Amino acid sequence: MAVEYEKDPSVSNLRNYLRIRSVHPNINYAECLTYLRGQAAELGFPVKVFEPVPKKPVLVMTCEGQEPSLPSILLNSHMDVVPVFEKSWTYPPFEARLVDGVIYGRGVQDMKSVGILYLEALKRLKSKGLKFKRTIHLTFVPDEEVGGLKGMGEFVKTEDFKKLNVGFSLDEGLASASEYYHVYNAERSIWHITMICPGKSGHGSLLLPDNNGEKIRYIIDKFMDLRQESKKKLEEDSKLTIGDVTTVNLTMLNGGIQNNVIPEKLTVSFDLRLATTVDHEEFENMIKGWCKEAGDNVSYKFDQKDPYVSPTKVDDTNAYWLAFKGTFDKLKLPLKVLTFPGGTDSRYVRERRIPALGITPYCHTPPQIHEHDESLKAATFLHAISVYEELIPTLANV
């Protein structure tokens, strides 16, 4: 007999949330807030909305613990989703179509479903009458998909965040195509850098000195050589993942006004993700050295320069990790600890010296973040609720 997912209230809740078009750019979060307030009312949780940046609301709903003086548990998710190319989707991306037990919709993996997992697990726990030692805060934040600087990045700096007294945070990870559940305890540092190569302008028929084309070629070669080193490391060691190496990608080239005019300046931009093993000062000094070697007056500027943030410990010194791992061991769900390849809001939390783990508890599920036809099996989603049903009380009772 076919499972009737259409009638499942948890599946319906997820699909309703997916239908809210909280898509970049220029998001109005009002509909999300209204929806989430309704969820909080159903659970009997008080709600507060903060705006550390105007029009960038952070909604916090709270399940007060029996010992509220203890550091709290934070369950974080973001409300925003990335843009879509609707013509490339099989089904409309904001319709949340359910086909043969699979839900199609932008945000179904990244990461609206995780926010609903928290809520549905807490509904089940509340129906059982369970109470928790520690307070649990659920945060629904804006703008993670554009770096989170005006969302969690600003919120963690406020007194309102400090009053939450967070002791441990859970956030998103990635679905896993294997039988292992991937948990992320660290992130690479994001550096977005633009290299500026000035030179002597003149007629395109001449071989003028102080040529910015030569300078920019030297700079590009240095960054591309570094890229090749990382590719080689991955090829030679099958145990390494993309999160273990520094990635380099050329993202923009700019300059010039006309084909027969040598410009005054050429620029090249790179997206760098620095491995957790990289010494930041040493790395920047290397770039400074390349500037001197490339020629006169070559310089650089940062559009983003994340600081080094220590990984969350996954050993006996971290009681939250022991509780987390103990839950997965109890459920006989194999874990693999990794460094997240991109960036999540956990980096802002870890920067405040708060331990944070990222997990999206879907196995045998190919990651589809930002892809056309982003999808998730309803059965996988429902199983993940039962995982949080075990995990949340364990963490909240540490």
Alpha carbon distance 213, 262 (integer Å):
9
> Cis omega before residue 152 (within 30°)?
no
Per-residue DSSP letters for 20-82? S--BSSS--THHHHHHHHHHHHHHT--EEEEEEETTEEEEEEEE--SSTTSPEEEEEEE--B-
Phi, psi of 109 (to 5 degrees): -105, -40
Q: Is 80 a catalytic residue?
A: yes
Q: Which of 120, 144, 145, 244 is catalytic?
A: 144
Alpha carbon distance 101, 234 (integer Å):
36
Residue 158 carries which side chain, given as an amino acid letter?
T
Alpha carbons within 13 angstroms on the beta-carbon side of residue 12 total 6
Q: Which of 80, 110, 120, 389 is catalytic?
A: 80
Q: Is 154 a catalytic residue?
A: no
For residue 3, how many other CB atoms are within 10 A of its CB?
12
Q: How far apart are the first and last CA of the chain?
A: 41
Alpha carbon distance 332, 326 (integer Å):
10
335 touches 325 (CB < 8 A):
yes
Q: Is 148 exposed, middle or buried (0-12, 13-18, 19+ CB in 10 A)?
A: buried
Catalytic residue positions, numbered: 80, 144
